[in-house]
Structure 1
């Protein structure tokens, strides 16, 4: 399975995902991954240039900041995240992060990427989770955490991506008792999907065995979900992703990311070594 995926990555992936795969499965260096991410960094400390494939163009955007933090987390490089924190402090001083900034209005982006400067739980929760996972703290994260708690407490309905973002936050936030209570509440929310084929799988909510959302499912349910993930490898060695490719190049960019994510999930759950 890994060998077939390796072949797919060498055929189709960007340098960043090739370096990430090498680090995850072939003993590649963490610094090589960090250097690949830094190629997308702007002078303002943020990130652009389609680091996150659905937001094209050069301007620093929250989606790219999130992806940079997540990649630094994958390789245990908290020291690389300093410029992102500074950029967040300057761009989102109240602690709430927009899905997209209006500075990208003249550049291509997926139709579901709203560049309206309006903060929301979707990005704020994921960025806060990524910072906590890196062991980073500070005044900006305190404000973001306050915002996330308030928005999670207010949720009466949600959609799959927002629900996943909330769970990601709850998995990492230090207040474990409050997180467990909030996760129990979220379990009973029915997410509304954007499109019929865009619902998320169980492992997207419980990406690791210790995740709070793992308790939402029985062992049999979750094992069947992992079976589906394991059998989702395509003939070319890669996995598919569950949303449209808004421009042709993102098809293989997202498939490469989905392929490494699938392998890492299967490894965390003991399906591969």
Structure 2
């Protein structure tokens, strides 16, 4: 890869202005903890506490596309990410989350993306809500993202054992995945303790991604990666969307040149207000404004990870 600094002081300062102006308290606290002069895990935990729901779940717009007070599984990945960043994802904090997940899981250990309890509240048109009383159906999209940080932190819970088995089986069955499903599979594979199996599955998945054109390798040629059904126009996944860090198993899927093109595009996508845009369907102005700070933080973390990589 080309040795270059993409997260320049100017770019970071502009992102800081955006986050202090437009970010939710949680993203502001995360930014201060991750990029500030002094880590502030206490502030991150205090901000996350506002999204806690009774029983161990998370709600109140923690996942911007999921509104209302009813806890939803798809909100859990954001909570676990914040806890992990703060160095606070331990057994005591993970136990009530896993217990709640066990209550809403399918018999095979997988968790749905959302529950019927979301139905009375605003949600995007692309997010189907199960009927009340329907048997829960586990999804890799949600379960993989939840399991990954718990595995990284060595959490021990009966639900995690069942959910890990669900993810392994779901990954092995993937043959025509959609890009977000690939991302969830990768989060799981990168954290899986069975590293030989994970490398083998990642190699197979990477071949599928390239063969099925689920990645845009040249941002200047968007026609080379067809937009997936149900996606917004221009909603593409670039190499860094899969390989968020240089040590991801997905890094081996791409040449240095391909990754450089994507990272250059990511850096250039910073907008005049200092934030990064969302690329999925804008179904609500409010949820877009709440999602952009998280997207901006992820862009900063990705750029910093590659800037700091010894073999970059």
Q: Please, what TM-score do these two structures have when normalized by structure 1? A: 0.95
Alpha-carbon displacement from aligned partner over 1:21-63 (angstroms, at most 9, x marks no partner): 1111112411210111111111111111111000001001001
CA contact (8 A) 2:186 2:250 kept: yes
- Structure-1 separation of matches of 2:106 and 2:204: 29
State whether structure 2 residue 168 is matched by structure 1 residue 149: yes
- Structure-2 separation of matches of 1:249 and 1:113: 17
Aligned to 1:232: 269
Aligned to 1:37: 48
Structure 2 residue runs without a partner (length 5+): 1-10, 131-135, 215-226
Give the 3-state SS of the residue equivalent to 1:230 in structure 2: helix
Higher relative contact order (CA 8 A, sep 6+): 2
CA contact (8 A) 2:199 2:249 kept: yes
State whether structure 2 residue 194 is matched by structure 1 residue 178: no
Q: CA deviation at 1:262?
A: 0.5
- Tell me which structure has the larger Cα radius of gyration: 2
| 1:52 counterpart (42, 56, 63) | 63
- Structure-2 separation of matches of 1:204 and 1:21: 20
Deviates more, 1:173-182 or 1:63-72: 63-72
Aligned to 1:193: 228
CA contact (8 A) 2:106 2:112 kept: no
CA contact (8 A) 1:78 1:135 kept: no
CA contact (8 A) 1:164 1:205 kept: yes
Q: CA deviation at 1:82?
A: 2.8
Query: Any residues of structure 2 matched to 1:80-91 within 5 Å, and which?
Result: 80-91=93-104
Aligned to 1:244: 281
CA contact (8 A) 2:106 2:138 kept: no
Aligned to 1:21: 31
> Which segments of structure 1 move beyond 4 Å, counting only runs of 4 or more?
none
CA contact (8 A) 1:99 1:122 kept: yes
CA contact (8 A) 2:57 2:71 kept: yes
State whether structure 2 residue 111 is matched by structure 1 residue 76: no
Aligned to 2:223: none
Q: CA deviation at 1:245?
A: 2.3
Deviates more, 1:44-53 or 1:72-81: 72-81
Query: Any residues of structure 2 matched to 1:197-216 within 5 Å, and which?
Result: 197-216=234-253
CA contact (8 A) 2:95 2:157 kept: no
Query: Any residues of structure 2 matched to 1:109-120 within 5 Å, and which?
Result: 109-116=123-130, 117-120=136-139
Structure 1 residue runs without a partner (length 5+): none
- Structure-2 separation of matches of 1:146 and 1:52: 26
Q: Please, what TM-score do these two structures have when normalized by structure 2? A: 0.83
Distance change >3 Å, CA 93–CA 76, structure 1 → 2: farther
Aligned to 1:256: 293
Deviates more, 1:172-181 or 1:182-191: 182-191
- Structure-1 separation of matches of 2:139 and 2:16: 37
Q: CA deviation at 1:89?
A: 1.8
- Structure-2 separation of matches of 1:110 and 1:251: 11
State whether structure 2 residue 113 is matched by structure 1 residue 102: no
Give the 3-state SS of the residue equivalent to 1:269 in structure 2: helix
- Structure-2 separation of matches of 1:135 and 1:41: 23
